[in-house]
Amino acid sequence: MRLKVLVDLPRHSPLDPLLDYLAPEAWPAGTLVRVPLGRREVCGIVWGPGDELASPDGEGGAVVLREIAQALDALPPLGEAWRRLAAFAATYYQRSLGEVALGALPPDLRELDATQLVRRLRRGDKLDREAAKAAQAASAEASPVPEPSDEQREALAQLAAMPPGPVLLFGATGSGKTEVYLREAARVLEAGGQVLVLVPEINLTPQLEARLAARFPGRRLVSLHSGLTPAQRLQGWLAAHRGRADLVLGTRMAIFASLPRLGLIVVDEEHDPSYKQQEGARYSARDLAVWRGRAEGVPVLLGSATPSLESWHNALPAAEGGAGRYRRLDMPARIGGGALPRVRTVDLARIAAQFGKRAVYSQPLAPPLLEAMRERLARGEQSLVLLNRRGYAPVLHCTSCGWKSDCAHCSAWRVFHRSDRTLRCHHCGFSERVPFACPSCGDPDLQPMGRGTERLEEQIAELLPGARIGRIDADTTRHKGSLESQLAQVHDGEIDVLVGTQMVAKGHDFRRMTLVAAVQADAALFSSDFRAPERLFALLMQAGGRAGRDAELAGRSEIWLQTWHAAHPLYAALRRHDYPAFAAAQLLERESAAMPPYAFQALLRAEARSQQAACDFLETVSAATLDWPEAAEVLIFPPVPAPIQRVADVERAQMLLEASSRQALHRLLARWQPVLAQSAARTGEARVLRWALDVDPLAI
């Protein structure tokens, strides 16, 4: 008997990843198997019956098929819905089916044989029994369920009356969106379904995991994210696949979890760009969640206080210029009647005119903002100072000859980290000790330029003597458990002023925080990326949402923005907390410029030893489409260097494709694949090292 088995072949292999193998019995589609492939034995997935007709081998004989080594039939087959999801993701994002489907499985699972799998399942059974006992013991200590607010009650009633499909839950920060998730999850669990909850970042999982465990103590909860050990990830995946886990909480990779009883998908902070994978198969977990919900007939809750413009457009009725694909539920009020923070702008241009630019650049905090923080300190309240740049200073420079700390391997500067006295490139990782003198002229007077979180923490400590200053960024949270420890200090009131990057600007519930300040709010106002204003508005509103979470303190909570452009329309909308007005203005600009969501894009990136080779590759594949009928509806822009042109001694270039029709773009991309592979096969200095096709790119 012949079976089609899906294997993970190299992306540009001439072989189809669905290969025929001989099998002693008809294992059902979705069964995991071990099969010989070349000199290796690899994991594969039975995809269906093979072609029973003999195939010529080019010499008049018949192809000699190899046999499946063994079936991992102790594990239930992967369901049809899961296989459809993998097939759709591979087709839409222009990747190999084997790469997507096998890559979605835990790495440890792909290495197990049948005997090892049985051992793991037995171990899993033991863990399940222990978890069941613990859940039974904890169920008697279930935390009390809070009474829903009127808005929450109305949202839940509307959800119950709606047919399954995507719903945008548009709620202000602190409006209680999580409680809506929990109550909708409870309804699904009572009906015997499984719930998948997606969060954008790993650091948001601990507090939500604790809340889910407290609300559903008798239910099995597992996490799926890259911060787990391979063994933990495998056990969580197996529990979900076997139907033992009722709730699955994870980052973007969890969208591919096998859930035989899926009843609800929640995408929290759906606007976050972290849901888009940036390496390998560049999929969007949010978009796949919407597709999976439609395909499996389950509701999808997309929650955000600042939805992505794509989701907002999809939730707008056609009569208002939207697509009308999603339904929208609004929750504009905070729980307990707390007021949203007052937004105050500090006009740096006015301060510079009064005191001189040197006074502005030498101090991180303007006098009015510093006074407001002193008031919080006197009242025992907390402040958050946001600066989305880690390190001490972005550049170290010589005042004598103008030397700057550039990276020898990238077209970028090396960042000065004072804590370990290093100059570190955040792109390739190249690091060196700070030189004792300028490498160019020998002057020992090297000065930092600009400001990072490390320097900001030091300067605030000088301005607020006696204040307890904390810092949370990628440098202070490298070690396991460090983030949880620092967040606990904030929650326990052991920190007066918290300095942080965007990783503390979303999802965290700081009850004593009454002031949030963005000290460099203008960074993205005039970016070449058309999505930069959307991201800036979301970041500032989400950061401001950390203030005034406690209703008793909400009346004096404030967001302070230090800006050189106080009259900018973005800040005007932010002062009113008016996301709909901001979104309407942005969508109008996007429509007039034919930008997403009114157009559909793909970005082809190329890497080579020289910029000329990368651009030549892009020009070659672009020229191949000139006579294609599929190219008539697609605009292909000329190749340009990437924003960071050189990384780790590799030159990078990119080329944008744009179409007014999604179908037209994908017809061209599908025909393009063999041309890309053939053009990349050149040898010598002119060859391209890597290329990647990014469908629906978020960074251009």
Residues 153-210 pLDDT 10s:
999 999 999 889 999 999 988 888 999 999 999 999 999 999 999 999 887 787 888 8
Q: Give 337-357 pLDDT, tens digit per residue.
A: 777 889 999 999 998 888 787
Helix (H, G, I), strand (E, B) or coil at 63: coil
Helices and strands (DSSP H and E) totals, the chain: 20, 28
Q: pLDDT band at 142, cuts 50/70/90? A: low
Helix (H, G, I), strand (E, B) or coil at 433: strand
**pLDDT score for 223:** 94
C-alpha triplet 199, 203, 208: angle, nearest 5°: 55
C-alpha to C-alpha distance for 635 and 631, rounded to whole angstroms: 8
Instruction: Name the residue among 56, 144, 74 with its Cα closest to residue 113.
Output: 74
Tell me whether residue 43 is annotated as binding: no
Supply the DSSP symbol for 174: T
Identify the CATH number of the domain in which residue 667 sits. 3.30.70.100
pTM of the predicted protein model: 0.93
Q: Which residue in this structure is represented by tokens 């489409």?
A: 625
DSSP 126-149: HHHHHHHHHHHHHHTTPPPPPPPP
Whether residue 488 sits in one domain with residue 379: yes
Q: Which of 451, 477, 497 is the last residue of a domain?
A: 451
Whether residue 44 sits in one domain with residue 80: yes
Query: Is residue 133 pLDDT above 80, yes or no?
Result: no
- What is the extent of the structural domain holding 21? 2-104
C-alpha to C-alpha distance for 292 and 311, rounded to whole angstroms: 16
Q: pLDDT band at 686, cuts 50/70/90? A: low
Mean pLDDT in residue range 476-481: 82
Whether residue 373 sits in one domain with residue 328: no
**Tokens of residue 633, six digits:** 């509806």
Q: Is residue 630 part of a domain?
A: yes
Helix (H, G, I), strand (E, B) or coil at 498: strand
**pLDDT score for 644:** 93
Checking DSSP bridges between strand 342-347 and strand 558-563, what pairing results, if any?
parallel
Task: Determine contact, residues 331/568, Cβ cutoff 8 Å.
Answer: no
**pLDDT score for 683:** 58
Q: Is residue 575 part of a domain?
A: yes
Identify the CATH number of the domain in which residue 183 sits. 3.40.50.300
**pLDDT score for 57:** 47
**pLDDT score for 507:** 64
Q: pLDDT band at 491, cuts 50/70/90? A: confident
Tell me whether residue 615 is annotated as binding: no
Q: Is residue 79 part of a domain?
A: yes
Q: Is residue 110 part of a domain?
A: no
Mean pLDDT in residue range 198-225: 88
CA 531 to chain centre: 15
What one-letter code names the amino acid at 578? D
Tell me whether residue 428 is annotated as binding: yes
Task: Determine contact, residues 248/117, Cβ cutoff 8 Å.
Answer: no
Query: Is residue 56 pLDDT above 50, yes or no?
Result: no
**pLDDT score for 58:** 43
Q: Is residue 7 part of a domain?
A: yes
Q: Give 25-48 pLDDT, tens digit per residue.
A: 999 999 999 999 989 999 999 999
Whether residue 539 sits in one domain with residue 610: no
Q: pLDDT band at 333, cuts 50/70/90? A: confident
CA 294, 300, 306, 309: dihedral to nearest 10 degrees?
0
Whether residue 260 sits in one domain with residue 179: yes
Whether residue 311 sits in one domain with residue 248: yes
Whether residue 545 sits in one domain with residue 488: yes
Lowest mean pLDDT across 8-17, 156-165, 256-265, 277-286: 8-17
Task: Determine contact, residues 584/643, Cβ cutoff 8 Å.
Answer: no
**pLDDT score for 140:** 56
* Residue partners of 202: CB distance under 8 A and separation at least 6: 225, 226, 227, 251
Q: Give 567-608 pLDDT, tens digit per residue.
A: 999 999 999 999 999 999 999 999 999 999 999 999 999 999
Q: pLDDT band at 72, cuts 50/70/90? A: very high
Instruction: Name the residue among 397, 398, 399 with its Cα closest to residue 414.
Output: 397
Q: Is residue 526 part of a domain?
A: yes
Whether residue 62 sits in one domain with residue 27: yes
**pLDDT score for 236:** 94
Q: Is residue 113 part of a domain?
A: no
Q: Which residue in this structure is represented by tokens 């548009």?
A: 170
Q: Which of 79, 104, 129 is the last residue of a domain?
A: 104
Backbone angles phi, psi at 466, to 5 degrees: 90, -15
Q: Is residue 112 part of a domain?
A: no
Whether residue 27 sits in one domain with residue 95: yes
Mean pLDDT in residue range 212-220: 89
Whether residue 632 sits in one domain with residue 527: no
Q: Which of 559, 590, 621 is the last residue of a domain?
A: 590
**Tokens of residue 659, six digits:** 């179409």
Angle in degrees, 0-180, between the axes of helices 114-139 and 230-241, rounded to the nearest 10: 80
* Residue partners of 397: CB distance under 8 A and separation at least 6: 403, 404, 405, 446, 447, 449
**Tokens of residue 224, six digits:** 């799926």
What are the distances in angstroms from CA 476 to CA 226, 456, 509, 520?
19, 14, 20, 21
Query: Is residue 630 pLDDT above 70, yes or no?
Result: yes
Task: Report the number of distinct structural domains present in the chain.
Answer: 5
Identify the CATH number of the domain in which residue 61 sits. 3.40.1440.60
Whether residue 236 sits in one domain with residue 383: no
Task: Determine contact, residues 498/382, Cβ cutoff 8 Å.
Answer: yes
Whether residue 363 sits in one domain with residue 480: yes
C-alpha to C-alpha distance for 396 and 449, rounded to whole angstroms: 6
